[in-house]
Structure 1
Amino acid sequence: MVEAIKRVGVSSEENVKQMEKFIDSSGLGPETCLLQALLENPPKLRLVKARKEIETVFFGAIDELLGKTWVQPNEIGILVVNSSKFCPTPSLCDMIVNRDKL
């Protein structure tokens, strides 16, 4: 993971060391999934790839949650979605609402 962060080349050495400490203390290991864009050499940080990553994670989690709880999308009254770095148009919330017809 640290090597992928270094390949992106936008973080200072001090930031990389701090991220490495965080990763070491977080319990993340060699089986931890990374963004597909970071695994490419050179990294291809593009909006299309970021949107695909979000769709894979969010839609997969939502499908699993709805399947396990037997909640129907029309029974959901409020949806709160947060991402600290990715803020596309349409919004993440809109992507989910439109896909699941909430």
Structure 2
Amino acid sequence: MSSKLYVGNLPYSVTDDSLRSNFSEYGAVASAKVMTDRETGRSKGFGFVEMGTEAEAQSAIDGLNGQSVDGRSIVVNVSRPKEAGSTGGGYRSGAGRY
């Protein structure tokens, strides 16, 4: 298991600091980042938290997964590595040209 967690279905009001604060109840938080849109700066509704140890990460999953934050039931699970070959969408030069 990894100590890096995916946190989904976040309310748009959640910030890096509030995310860190929520997870710090379960152990040391190495990093907390809410993902934002590059152009607007608005939250994308998900983020990543890295806990100090795997045990702390599991404790945070057990304690926070499914909990309500500002009326939204958040999802907390172990972050999976990005799949090889996945571009994540977006613009690619020359895409669709024949």
Band of TM-score, shorter chain: under 0.3
- Normalization by structure 2: what TM-score? 0.24
Between 1 and 2, higher relative CO (CA 8 Å, sep ≥ 6) is seen in 2
Give the number of the structure whose residues are more often strand, by fraction: 2
- Normalization by structure 1: what TM-score? 0.24
Give the number of the structure whose residues are more often helix, by fraction: 1
Q: Which has the larger radius of gyration?
A: 1
